[in-house]
Structure 1
């Protein structure tokens, strides 16, 4: 059997900047869900769109501004559209994503990522940095994720971490997570060909390749008990489960899906092994998996409450994160 645990002990991990407060880069509300393409027959609701603007100073170093584009790139891999419809096209008002500090004054906003220190926002907040830093500032019910440093090199280091590591990882994690839920729905409906394509798609279950590659140096330092769980999960998702789908064996596929879900629980909840995920995800972003499950009929209504026992039962009965 092929082994799918990636170990890269000789490859250094990206240097993590100072994160203030702890996990600020992980729980920032980067995306939201919205109606898109309104005014066309293909109008959709509940589509992932950017929930931030990326801001740079008009006097900022061009290398810093260029790296801001990397943040936009990975955010674009996470979302499904920038969020517009026919009316916005008529008015030539496609939503902005990268704006200067001067342009920001004429734009309504709720959350921003500010790259660099040569801008009006950092000056108005009176911030200074001694190290590469990603700092969350909340003011007037608005959230600002400031990506700064003492000099240009430190700023670039912090930006690269936010883009290449954090947003890259988020894009892979949520594509994988939501695809995993949809996978169960396809299996239950006997849609084995669709399920198999979802497993093998770079936009589906195989998007986790991003996360495995990024986590390789960290996983190499994990104890054997954690590595064993990762090996088991990867063997199920990328070898055993595809085989069951090819054989159109629904019972086996459901059984393997549940086993894979438990391995995820072990890492996220710390069941039988040290807990890997030590922060609570943004509920508004995370909760879309419930709506995906409902669309497949996996959620049942019992009385006035929704029952999620199709997935959350037995060893995986816990909903949410501790």
Structure 2
């Protein structure tokens, strides 16, 4: 059964009525096809109206929707012959970060991404997508491996941020994130990052210091979560909606600010309503972004990538 967000309750009620009428028909009752058709049209129009005027806070809720496609879904749907690689060669393997080699549209690539998990068991296993230092060290290792073998890097970002536990800080969380960013900037191969859900803080940019940064239409990307920002500025997490507005964290805002390169349109109602269509759209956009970069040499890629991020800093100062 589909999970509905709070602001989708009117849509949920209509779809619930449609399902009840379907069961009536299946049970051999009266023909209700005409009534179902009218309700479907009404539900579709309401969905269009609702999603045409989403607030930043509502977009944050969609970005976190538990049924949204995760990194593991993109790997399964877009990458052939995927060979997972584990461990940071220093401490342990971090299940919050998935990575490995495979083929994207016939081209050998390195894939890295944060994984949240789909149910309680898998979410605990993947630590809800919040990586520890060993996760970022694994990402760095795979980026360096990609550079050594000339493999373009594709990353998929969906994390609330790096794990904030004491043990993570004790093992060098900040240093691990910084080194992962450094590895991304220094990679002598094309690097395409896609924000598929929530892109939180340094935990996200560690996997997104890329030549091209793509964002799904209803994803978010910010230095801090709306709840965290509200807790700091207003000392009240209930002000999260206000914080979301101020943070300019939506794909539309970030594209206008030139902090991301392209926005990938989602199916009406969000990526979770039509995952195959979402994967197909991401595949097209990733390939369109990757193909022109394949002709560039490593030195050019590094120079352009570094200049891109330096320009963001200059624009911010101005």
TM-score bracket relative to the smaller structure: under 0.3
Q: Quick one: higher RCO (CA 8 Å, sep 6+), 1 or 2? A: 1
Compute the TM-score of the two structures, normalised by the length of structure 1: 0.25
TM-score (norm 2): 0.26
Which structure carries more helix by proportion?
A: 2
